[in-house]
Chain A
Amino acid sequence: MLIERYIYLAIALFCIGIVGVLARRNAIIIFMCIELMLNAVNLLLVAFSKMHHVAGVAKSASAGIDGQLFVFFIMVVAAAEVSVGLAIIVMMYRNTHSVDVNFLNRLKH
């Protein structure tokens, strides 16, 4: 198994996420890009976890398994985040009738 391939894919996904957050103004797209970055990290965690497991399975049956545990935590947190984030976007739409973040340049309405 070549770990480099997973790393390249994760970097690519992460960079797409960053560029999306930086370049786009639609809040929903930005949100999706953030998810993309989280998943890039998840992918890396799983990949390294598998790698360590293969390397250490002779000593212990559960070697490298904690990386995959982290992924579950991140997915739970991301799900919670999605609910809050979407609620914010809904409120934002109610106030500005748009999901363009550049309209949010005032502290009060």
Chain B
Amino acid sequence: MNNVLQLVWLVPFFPLVGFLINGLFRKQLSKSLISIIGSGMVLASFVVSVLLFTEVKNGNTHVANLFDFISFGSLSIPFAFQIDQLSSLFLLIITGVGFLIHVYSAAYMHEERNDHFGRYFCYLNLFVFSMLLLVLGANYVIMFIGWEGVGLCSYLLIGYWFKNTEYNNAAKKAFIMNRIGDLGFLIAIFWLIAKLGTVTYTTPEGTGVFDVFNKLTRTDYIGITLLLFVGATGKSAQLPLYTWLPDAMAGPTPVSALIHAATMVTAGIYMIARSNILYTMAPETQSVVAAIGLATALFAATIAIKQNDIKKVLAYSTVSQLGYMFLGLGVGAYTGAVFHVMTHAFFKALLFLGAGSVIHAMHHEQDIRNMGGLKKHLPVTHLTFLIGCIAIAGIPPFSGFFSKDEILAAAFAKDHLYYYLGVAGALMTAFYMFRLYATTFLGKFRGTEEQKHHLHESPAAMTIPLIVLAILSIAGGFIGMPEVFNMGEHKLEHFLAPIFEASASYKEVPHLDHETEYMLMGISVGVAVLAILVALFRYSKKPEVHEPAGFGKVLADKWYIDELYQFIIVKPMQWFARFLNNIIEKNFIDWLINGVGRTVNYTSRQVRLLQSGLVGNYVLLMVLSMLALFVVKFFLKK
């Protein structure tokens, strides 16, 4: 029965091969061959993932030990892959959405030079490989390898156009911000090793981290989960480490879709969902997670309202949606959070690819104030983008509605305040998405004549992924249809139940009665529809082309958070570095080093005088030394 599941190593193997081929032969291969290899390898992974998924659906799980990775003393960390419900779901998202984005990239990046084109696909495959490693790893160390790998690829792809200094700075910012979070993750791993002597999730003998879930003290649980969460805030762009994600939009648009919307940024959610038992044991951390998630969701949504760069709006929207997922994790709705990861992957990838299509048509114009009226020029992009907007706004029966509603319902059950704030965020989400939609696609065209002349619908390689993602955005929600609609059980919840079984048995997630649930749905849908109508009414005819003033300017300038960080962290660091460089280095370290040199120099000059070349002197010294030895030997030493 397990023969299919043993093929799990093939899933990351294909992208690795693609990475090697495209990386090593990027100058020899033609563009079409590069894109076929790049996309084909991910497609192969996807096919294997589907096979694995069908097997997992029958209730089979498997841990494949490939080889001993680290082994000394009592600590043993195997290089092992774990294929179960959670990882197989993520595999499908990563390889499925990843494949579509690879196909899209082939068309989007076509203007690039041949070897840069190869470099792009090689990075992209390496990213998919690392992400698969992250998701498949059967212990925290393998997850960490993937975790670092995706961080590296994110850096490489944000700085893909490396001749632009600003893009390089954005890449560095992303990398450094991630490193801050990674440190937390790393300390958590060490903590686990120190306390439990293992980092493996679960073993048949019941010695894994999750198997011994009541063996740690309360402090350990809180400490470990908080540190893991620090890692998650870095990778998944939560307060206070979120500022890298909007800047990461410097990378090519498909990269934003794949890495900074659909997959990498959800790694933090995956990690917490994977460690759900630890979090259930640490309710204090759960409150922190929920509070940070909610704060991020609201904060990023306010910024998104006033952004004018089409990708920036989507970036802040991503930050905000990730906040919702953390809210879900924090209130114990693990299934809801994973569900939202999935639907978000569909509609946010769709929106980014749609934005890419618009940017492509507008010749690298990203400012929505110079767009408008694109509806009739880009019919496919327009329709799919609209679907994405509706899905993210949470209008039934589109996918976003079900996942967001599940999180909000769980938040309501936990604390009413969470729910009301969450709905406020949903209101803003609907508002800024339709502001974006209306300004971009409705009204009159505001670009230059030349741009207008060149407006064209994107080629099929770009529109087909859009259409597929649009269909998924519409239909993706049905697998998580709540029970209220009397269409059988919650399929996704049933599927994922084994993963969250232990948490559920430890602490029951409160269930709402059907009337309350209908009411909550009514409220959130009503609010979203209201926001959409206001946004359409407000922005379709006369869009906001002036620079914002007053409070709007504060939002447009992102609450001055970047400036604040600059002021409280970067500036003092630079000051400190200058202090070390000018004072400590010059006056102390240089003095010490030069002092050693001078001492040696002086001593050698003095000692050199002994070597006169006169035999008599040497003999005299010899005799004196012998006399001295004689005296010491016979008179002083008793």
In the complex, the answer to whether A22 meets B615 with C-beta atoms within 8 Å is no
The reply to whether the CB of B619 lies closer than 8 angstroms to some CB of chain A is: yes
**Interface membership of chain A positions 13-34, coded 1 if the CB is closer than 8 angstroms to chain B and 0 otherwise:** 0000010011101000010000
In the complex, the answer to whether A102 meets B614 with C-beta atoms within 8 Å is yes
User: CA of A30 to CA of B616 in the docked complex: distance in angstroms?
Assistant: 10
Within 8 A of B (CB), among A1-49: 18, 21-23, 25, 30
Contacts A18-B623, A105-B612 aside, 11 further interface pairs with beta carbons under 8 A come to A21-B619, A22-B616, A22-B620, A22-B623, A23-B616, A101-B614, A101-B615, A102-B615, A102-B616, A104-B615, A106-B613
User: CA of A18 to CA of B623 in the docked complex: distance in angstroms?
Assistant: 8
Q: Which residues of B contact A21 (CB under 8 A)?
A: 619, 623
In the complex, the answer to whether A101 meets B616 with C-beta atoms within 8 Å is yes
Max chain A Cβ within 10 angstroms of own Cβ: one of B615, B620, B623? B615
Within 8 A of B (CB), among A33-84: none
Q: Which residues of A contact B620 (CB under 8 A)?
A: 22
B626 — nearest CB in chain A belongs to which residue? A18
User: CA of A104 to CA of B619 in the docked complex: distance in angstroms?
Assistant: 14
Q: Which residues of B contact A104 (CB under 8 A)?
A: 613, 615
Please list the 10 inter-chain residue pairs (A to B) with the smallest Cβ-Cβ separation, ordered nearest first: A105-B613, A101-B615, A21-B619, A22-B620, A105-B614, A102-B614, A22-B619, A18-B623, A104-B615, A22-B616
The contact size tier of chain B is: under 10
Q: Which residues of B contact A107 (CB under 8 A)?
A: 613
A27 — nearest CB in chain B belongs to which residue? B615
User: CA of A36 to CA of B619 in the docked complex: distance in angstroms?
Assistant: 16
A102 — nearest CB in chain B belongs to which residue? B614
B613 — nearest CB in chain A belongs to which residue? A105
Min CB distance B379 to A, Å, is 95
- Cβ-Cβ contact count across A and B, 8 Å cutoff: 23
Q: Which residues of B contact A101 (CB under 8 A)?
A: 614-616
**Interface membership of chain B positions 596-617, coded 1 if the CB is closer than 8 angstroms to chain A and 0 otherwise:** 0000000000000000111110
A23 — nearest CB in chain B belongs to which residue? B616
User: CA of A23 to CA of B616 in the docked complex: distance in angstroms?
Assistant: 7
User: CA of A22 to CA of B623 in the docked complex: distance in angstroms?
Assistant: 9
User: CA of A21 to CA of B619 in the docked complex: distance in angstroms?
Assistant: 8
B616 — nearest CB in chain A belongs to which residue? A22
**Interface membership of chain A positions 77-109, coded 1 if the CB is closer than 8 angstroms to chain B and 0 otherwise:** 000000000000000000000000110111100
B618 — nearest CB in chain A belongs to which residue? A101
Sample 10 A-B pairs with CB under 8 A, ordered by A number. Answer: A18-B623, A21-B623, A22-B616, A22-B620, A22-B623, A23-B616, A25-B616, A101-B616, A105-B613, A107-B613
User: CA of A23 to CA of B615 in the docked complex: distance in angstroms?
Assistant: 11
Q: Which residues of A contact B612 (CB under 8 A)?
A: 105
Within 8 A of A (CB), among B146-186: none
DSSP majority for the A interface? Answer: helix
User: CA of A25 to CA of B617 in the docked complex: distance in angstroms?
Assistant: 11
Q: Which residues of A contact B616 (CB under 8 A)?
A: 22-23, 25, 101-102
User: CA of A105 to CA of B623 in the docked complex: distance in angstroms?
Assistant: 19
Min CB distance A3 to B, Å, is 19
Min CB distance A71 to B, Å, is 22
User: CA of A30 to CA of B619 in the docked complex: distance in angstroms?
Assistant: 11
Min CB distance B615 to A, Å, is 4
Q: Which residues of B contact A18 (CB under 8 A)?
A: 623
**Interface membership of chain B positions 574-616, coded 1 if the CB is closer than 8 angstroms to chain A and 0 otherwise:** 0000000000000000000000000000000000000011111
User: CA of A18 to CA of B612 in the docked complex: distance in angstroms?
Assistant: 20
Min CB distance A5 to B, Å, is 22
Q: Which residues of A contact B615 (CB under 8 A)?
A: 30, 101-102, 104
Q: Which residues of B contact A25 (CB under 8 A)?
A: 616
User: CA of A30 to CA of B613 in the docked complex: distance in angstroms?
Assistant: 17
Min CB distance A80 to B, Å, is 21
User: CA of A69 to CA of B504 in the docked complex: distance in angstroms?
Assistant: 100
**Interface membership of chain B positions 294-315, coded 1 if the CB is closer than 8 angstroms to chain A and 0 otherwise:** 0000000000000000000000
A104 — nearest CB in chain B belongs to which residue? B615
User: CA of A22 to CA of B613 in the docked complex: distance in angstroms?
Assistant: 14
Q: Which residues of B contact A102 (CB under 8 A)?
A: 614-616
User: CA of A18 to CA of B619 in the docked complex: distance in angstroms?
Assistant: 9
Min CB distance B55 to A, Å, is 84
User: CA of A106 to CA of B614 in the docked complex: distance in angstroms?
Assistant: 9
Q: Which residues of B contact A23 (CB under 8 A)?
A: 616
User: CA of A22 to CA of B616 in the docked complex: distance in angstroms?
Assistant: 6
Min CB distance B614 to A, Å, is 6
A24 — nearest CB in chain B belongs to which residue? B616
User: CA of A25 to CA of B613 in the docked complex: distance in angstroms?
Assistant: 13
User: CA of A107 to CA of B612 in the docked complex: distance in angstroms?
Assistant: 11
User: CA of A18 to CA of B620 in the docked complex: distance in angstroms?
Assistant: 9
Min CB distance A95 to B, Å, is 15
User: CA of A106 to CA of B611 in the docked complex: distance in angstroms?
Assistant: 11
Min CB distance A96 to B, Å, is 13
User: CA of A25 to CA of B623 in the docked complex: distance in angstroms?
Assistant: 16
User: CA of A105 to CA of B620 in the docked complex: distance in angstroms?
Assistant: 15
User: CA of A102 to CA of B613 in the docked complex: distance in angstroms?
Assistant: 8
Q: Which residues of B contact A105 (CB under 8 A)?
A: 612-614
User: CA of A65 to CA of B168 in the docked complex: distance in angstroms?
Assistant: 92
User: CA of A92 to CA of B614 in the docked complex: distance in angstroms?
Assistant: 15
A21 — nearest CB in chain B belongs to which residue? B619
Within 8 A of A (CB), among B403-440: none
Q: Which residues of A contact B614 (CB under 8 A)?
A: 101-102, 105
B627 — nearest CB in chain A belongs to which residue? A18
Min CB distance A13 to B, Å, is 16
Min CB distance B617 to A, Å, is 10
B624 — nearest CB in chain A belongs to which residue? A22
Q: Which residues of A contact B613 (CB under 8 A)?
A: 104-107
Q: Which residues of A contact B619 (CB under 8 A)?
A: 21-22
User: CA of A103 to CA of B613 in the docked complex: distance in angstroms?
Assistant: 9
Min CB distance B53 to A, Å, is 84
User: CA of A42 to CA of B117 in the docked complex: distance in angstroms?
Assistant: 93
A105 — nearest CB in chain B belongs to which residue? B613
User: CA of A22 to CA of B618 in the docked complex: distance in angstroms?
Assistant: 9
Min CB distance A38 to B, Å, is 15
Min CB distance A50 to B, Å, is 25
User: CA of A18 to CA of B616 in the docked complex: distance in angstroms?
Assistant: 11
User: CA of A25 to CA of B616 in the docked complex: distance in angstroms?
Assistant: 8
Q: Which residues of B contact A106 (CB under 8 A)?
A: 613
